[in-house]
């Protein structure tokens, strides 16, 4: 596709900046996310967290790992409307991407977890995800795998009893804080390389600002303003009710944050998701009902802004959103600690999940 000259592209950026409430809307993604004071990063902790993230033995039947739903070899989700869980169960919501999740101030679609550490504990004991009866059962199984003991000791050298659920969650969170995708075409563009985005992508950036998308999707992660950890940035979806999309995609069947809090004012509130790498995470929205990015931008324009997009506008927006696909770090599959001569998966659980052809 033809590219604009640097002078023309710089002029388009200036226009886009003037259309935004603040130039702070247009920021490159930092190379590293914030880390809590009580869980500093370390290579040993990241290595432990990576192993735990990929290990399916912490699901009841030994089939599901964190990576099953949040595949870091791809877009950080599973590209399904609803993920497959324990005993082939299906969740009600689409798995959000884990890439750049460290830049969220709360976790999950409804913000019910304040931190990555809190989030890491939830799926293990969720009956439609990994299906363990409780965290004690998960840790009891982990303690049967001898190779994890030195890994916990290296990751938490000052803890006399390092093999705990809290430390396991801290390690997984530490690994997830390495899942950052900077240096997208957009990042290079706002840092001064005015050839990094195509002409259509620049038009899409301008359209994004003109329509008002930056009211929610601002900041370096395109998920809203920077807020203290535990304070979520929420938006009602759909904001404008009654559109054809609401019924077509059953957008109000799930009450969002209200399902977690029980507060009527929280009905249909959702944590504003990142748009980073959004081109890779179809299908879209909390229920995974919208199959394409082109359709998703039309749904957003109508339900959130009350606007109908032309085909040209939709195409330009999709082009711009593709410019938010960043550079993914190289990730090698970990070698998991073994249990020579035995299995830690109870026979009853293993048999319960088997099909007749197994």
Q: What is the DSSP string of 139-153?
A: HHHHTT-TTHHHHHH
Calpha distance 9→124 (Å, rounded): 48
What's the CA angle centered on 207, arms 232 and 99, to 5 degrees? Answer: 40
Phi, psi of 162 (to 5 degrees): -75, -20
Output DSSP code: residue 329.
P
User: Residue 327 catalytic?
Assistant: no
Collapsing DSSP to helix, strand or coil, 66 comes out as helix
Calpha distance 292→357 (Å, rounded): 35
Calpha distance 280→327 (Å, rounded): 13
Buried b / exposed e across 213-225, counting CB within 10 Å, b at 16+?
Answer: bbebbbbbbbbbe
Calpha distance 82→173 (Å, rounded): 23
Distances (CA, A) of 64 to 183, 188, 203, 340: 32, 37, 42, 21
Could you tell me the two tokens for 62? 């030994």
Q: Residue 30 in contact with residue 219, Cβ under 8 Å?
A: no
Phi, psi of 178 (to 5 degrees): -95, -5
> Which of 117, 129, 176, 295 is the catalytic position?
129
Centroid of chain to Cα 7: 36
Omega before 283 within 30 of 0, i.e. cis: yes
Which residue has tokens 């939830």? 122
Active-site residue list: 129
């Amino acid at each position: 596709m033809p590219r604009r000259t640097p002078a023309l592209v710089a002029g388009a950026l200036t226009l886009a900046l003037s259309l935004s409430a603040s130039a702070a809307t247009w920021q490159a993604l930092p190379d590293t996310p914030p880390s809590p004071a009580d869980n500093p990063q370390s290579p040993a902790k990241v290595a432990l967290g990576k192993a735990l993230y990929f290990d399916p033995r912490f699901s009841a039947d030994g089939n599901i790992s964190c990576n099953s739903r949040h595949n870091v070899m791809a877009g950080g989700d599973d590209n399904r409307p609803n993920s497959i869980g324990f005993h082939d169960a299906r969740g009600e919501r689409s798995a959000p991407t884990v890439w750049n999740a460290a830049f969220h101030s709360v976790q999950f679609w409804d913000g019910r977890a304040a931190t990555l550490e809190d989030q890491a504990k939830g799926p293990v004991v969720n009956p439609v995800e990994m299906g363990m009866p409780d965290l004690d059962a998960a840790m009891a199984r982990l303690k049967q795998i001898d190779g994890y003991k030195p890994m916990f000791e290296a990751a938490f050298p000052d803890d006399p009893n390092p093999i705990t659920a809290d430390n396991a969650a801290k390690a997984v969170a530490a690994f997830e804080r390495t899942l950052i995708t900077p240096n997208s075409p957009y990042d290079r563009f706002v840092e001064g390389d005015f050839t990094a985005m195509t002409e259509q992508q620049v038009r899409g950036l301008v359209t994004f600002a003109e329509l008002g998308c930056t009211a929610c999707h601002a900041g370096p992660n395109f998920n809203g303003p920077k807020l203290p950890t535990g304070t979520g940035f929420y938006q009602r979806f759909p904001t404008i009710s009654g559109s054809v999309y609401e019924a077509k995609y059953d957008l109000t069947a799930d009450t969002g944050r209200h399902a977690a809090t029980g507060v009527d004012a929280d009905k249909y509130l959702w944590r504003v998701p990142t748009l980073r790498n959004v081109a890779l995470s179809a299908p879209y929205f909390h229920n995974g009902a919208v199959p394409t990015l082109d359709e998703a931008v039309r749904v957003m324009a109508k339900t959130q802004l009350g606007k109908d997009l032309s085909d040209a506008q939709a195409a330009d927006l999709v082009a711009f959103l593709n410019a938010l696909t960043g550079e993914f770090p190289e990730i090698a599959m970990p070698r998991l600690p073994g249990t020579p001569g035995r299995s830690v998966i109870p026979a009853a659980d293993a048999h319960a999940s088997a099909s007749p052809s197994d």
